[in-house]
Amino acid sequence: MNILSIQQPGAIERFLGDEVRIESRGRENISRYVQLEILDIMLPENELREEEATFYTFPVDDRQFYVQLLYLQQGETELHKAKVYSLLFAPAFFDQYPAEVLMANMPFRFDQSSELEFPFCNQTRILLDQLQDTSPMPALIRSLKQTEIVAQLLRRALQCATQQQTLSCHVPTCRFLAYESERDKVMEARNIIELQLDRPITIRELSRKVAMNECYLKKGFKALTGRTINDYQQELRIAKAKELLQQDNQSVSYVAATLGYSSISHFSTAFKKATGMKPCELLA
């Protein structure tokens, strides 16, 4: 059964949400049963999403499944640009495995569509980069190489999804925060955020600045502040915007530019979403 002959599930749209703009998309059949799609996307100005990965399972018949792996990877320099990688495995791909082997894994035990989040780790980034390798090579060699890579990605996703802690990183508790040095790194990250409200920072960049694993940083930050990193940045920017708007001789455009918003409309949308008011309503 060829993957092209099957109606594909619409997980990409749900994964992205309504406000994400797709700039470009390319599709490639790695084999008869595995399809790769790469999308360049533009995130809304008021949304800075963390890198994420999701494992989708779509039963289409008795013990017949689509599996789709979706990865969102932030851009290195432009915060609101990102890539999405989709790997779609047709039901026929899993015919090579005995049914009892599939059923022993949690994602295949459901009789309805399901989704499980799993960590987007550095090894995953390396594999995704290798998947896009454009070095000259014979077509068969390239196909074999890509097949090996997608098998590794599927294996890693399954390993994460079948562990008890599937909705977060490989950090079951925040025991690492018992060390003062680790708490200091989280607090340093908070200080960095507070000092550069005019330029929101990505999780990856922040983790590099404080020399802390991204997963630990996200969990530690939430444990110590009660907020995610992105929520904390947004709250501070909106609070600063309120303060500036109530000062004499300030304009909405000045406040938007001061806080790093690319346009007044993006700033107004973010402000109204957070406060329920338009920025002009607070002008002194």
Q: Domains of the chain: which residue ranges? A: 3-161, 175-282
Summarised one tens digit per residue, pLDDT across range 229-264 is 888 888 898 899 888 888 877 888 888 888 888 778
Sheet bearing 52-61, strands edge to edge = 21-29, 34-42, 81-89, 64-74, 52-61, 114-118
3-state helix, strand, coil in the chain (%, to 5): 50, 20, 35
pLDDT over threshold 80, residue 56: yes
What CATH number does the domain located at 175-282 have?
1.10.10.60
What's the mean pLDDT in 34-41?
93
Q: How confident is the model at residue 188 (pLDDT cuts 50, 70, 90)?
A: very high
| Model pLDDT, residue 168 | 42
Q: What is the pTM of this model?
A: 0.60
| Model pLDDT, residue 89 | 93
The alpha carbon of 40 is separated from its chain's Cα centroid by a whole number of angstroms, namely 13
pLDDT over threshold 80, residue 166: no
The SS3 assignment for 194 reads helix
